[in-house]
Structure 1
């Protein structure tokens, strides 16, 4: 068993989110320490955002780099939809 189960859980949820983002045409690169996704739109490479995954009182949540919650980690499709909308709106 891993000595860092939280990091494993975080990486698992970020992997699920990356799949959803890539299905929407975005690029998602996993940063290892601390685990987070660097998300960008390949059509406009200057637009990028970092999203991590954190345990809160009600479960695991995706979170923007500025600390605002994106959505529940159990629903990566909804979180990816919100992220794609924000990146498209910039």
Structure 2
């Protein structure tokens, strides 16, 4: 089944987040269906998290696996900073 426009938007925003996270030294893997980003600390598999991207009335937002919002998808650098802080990589 072909990807929907919404899935393409998710993938686009997740790709921008992946670039920012890799600049901070984290490892990322984009899962295709449903689109989500697996983020891990390169030194240990114990520090890992999955983030997705969801549309809300105020725009697109990155979201932790437990449902809490990370930040607005229009600012992947800020979202990456928050993720890096949680995963303990400075």
TM interval, short-chain normalised = over 0.9
1:29-72 per-position Cα deviation (integer Å, ceiling 9, x unaligned): 00011000000000122210000000001000000000000000
Q: Distance in 1 between matches of 2:43 and 2:24?
A: 12
Using the TM superposition, give the Cα deviation of residue 3 of structure 1 relative to its aligned residue in structure 2, in angstroms: 6.0
Q: Distance in 1 between matches of 2:14 and 2:51?
A: 8
Other structure's SS at 1:30 match: strand
Q: CA RMSD, aligned part only?
A: 1.3
> With structure 1 as the length reference, what TM-score do the two structures score?
0.93
Pairs aligned (count) = 88
Match of 1:10 in 2: 10
Match of 1:19 in 2: 19
Q: Distance in 1 between matches of 2:83 and 2:76?
A: 10
Q: Which runs of 4+ in 1 moved over 3 A?
A: none
Q: Distance in 1 between matches of 2:14 and 2:53?
A: 7
> With structure 2 as the length reference, what TM-score do the two structures score?
0.93
Other structure's SS at 1:74 match: coil
Other structure's SS at 1:78 match: helix
**Structure 2 gap ranges (5+):** none
Q: Distance in 2 between matches of 1:32 and 1:3?
A: 9
